Structure 1
Amino acid sequence: MENLRYPIGKPNIPKEISDRNIKEWIEIIELFPRKLKKLVSNLSDDQLNTKYRNEGWTIRQVVHHCADSHHNSYTRFKWTLTENKPIIKTYYEDRWAELKDSKDGPIGLSINSLIALHDKWVYFLKLLTFEDLDKYFIHPEGNEIVTLKENIGIYAWHCNHHYAHIEHLIKRKNW
């Protein structure tokens, strides 16, 4: 069950984040939308409405979740660079995934959104300085401090994590 929930394991962000880490993570973020589009482009509605695990989301919900989550992350980067140690707003991703647009909406809407967002986000990320990357926001759950460089790693993991959910289901189902 844990392998289905975390097919690539939980995030493992190093304490010392190198320039190489940042470049690799940005590349993952850059390539993700088009890789995802290719992965899901030939799936039928029935396949898109298949859960990747019991009590998990459907492929359709995962795709829409990625768009929602990545939009929120992009906003968190902007807040962190324009405010002093902002306390971010969290959201109930499980409730968002249950909204009609996530459960029934065409995935092309979120794929197109991800492509545009990631193109803009990657352009933005490549402009950040070391000083920018050390800035942080405060996550209200536990008052956790998250630096922008850590958040790049978290979202590179997030891309790979949800890609693996879908890819592993496709392999298991032999689609």
Structure 2
Amino acid sequence: MHKPEPAAYEQFYSKYIKLVDQEPILETLEKLKASTYQLLSNLTGEQANYAYAPEKWTIKQVAGHLIDAERTFAYRVLAFSRGQVELPGFDENIYVELSNSNDRTIQDLATEFSTVRNANLYMLRALTPAQLDAHGIANGSPVQVNTIVYIMAGHEVHHLNILKERYGI
């Protein structure tokens, strides 16, 4: 897998892709899985229920969003690598509202995130070069499978940065 060039994807995705280093992306996803699990699973219940402002997500909801996004990106990879050409977007706020993340423990959410990422890594390792080059349309924008893998990692880094900057963890 190779880091996509900016001309290969919509500008919206650049905020995620620029957060990903040049090292092999599957190694990056493995390292992120471990560090995100460690970060989330070591939080107390009080910390996990914290939102830095009214109407902002709690840390539990951020964790739930990471899980939902991970599954969404993985489905896009699966669908486009198997020949499907278009998928709808998703409203992250509605997903978070309906996720019931605040009713769960942060340790449970951390374990689910790690488990979902593990499953996705199996899928990603099995993709052929032709499947990685496959394209589709997600949320009205064209995107290549290879690019989605980098978006997956960059999206996680983006939210980890928010957790550090705004939530103080």
Asked if these proteins are the same fold (TM beyond 0.5), I'd say yes
**Structure 1 alignment gaps of length 5 or more:** 1-8, 14-19
Residue 41 (structure 1) shift: 2.6
Distance 1:55 1:48 in 2: 16
Residue 54 (structure 1) shift: 5.8
1:35 corresponding residue in structure 2: 35
**TM-score, structure 2 normalization:** 0.77
Residue 43 (structure 1) shift: 2.2
Q: For 1:10, which of 8, 15, 39 is the aligned residue?
A: 15
Segment drifting more, 52-61 vs 126-135: 52-61
Residue 170 (structure 1) shift: 5.3
2:154 corresponding residue in structure 1: 157
Segment drifting more, 106-115 vs 63-72: 106-115
Distance 1:100 1:131 in 2: 35
1:131 corresponding residue in structure 2: 130
Map 1:45-84 → 2, pairs under 5 A: 45-52=45-52, 55-84=55-84
Q: For 2:165, which of 149, 155, 168 is the aligned residue?
A: 168
Distance 2:28 2:165 in 1: 18
2:4 corresponding residue in structure 1: none
1:3 corresponding residue in structure 2: none
Residue 80 (structure 1) shift: 1.1
Map 1:90-129 → 2, pairs under 5 A: 90-99=89-98, 101-129=100-128
**Structure 2 alignment gaps of length 5 or more:** 1-13
Deviations 1:36-85 (A, max 9, x none): 12112332222112124564311110001111110111111111122342
2:145 corresponding residue in structure 1: 148
Contact preservation (8 Å) 1:64, 1:110: yes
Matching residue's letter, 2:146 = K
| Identity %, equivalent residues | 25
Contact preservation (8 Å) 2:132, 2:146: yes
Contact preservation (8 Å) 2:45, 2:105: no
Distance 1:70 1:132 in 2: 19
Distance 2:126 2:40 in 1: 31
User: Secondary structure of the residue that 1:128 maps to in structure 2?
Assistant: coil
User: Secondary structure of the residue that 1:43 maps to in structure 2?
Assistant: coil
Contact preservation (8 Å) 1:39, 1:167: no
Distance 2:31 2:78 in 1: 21
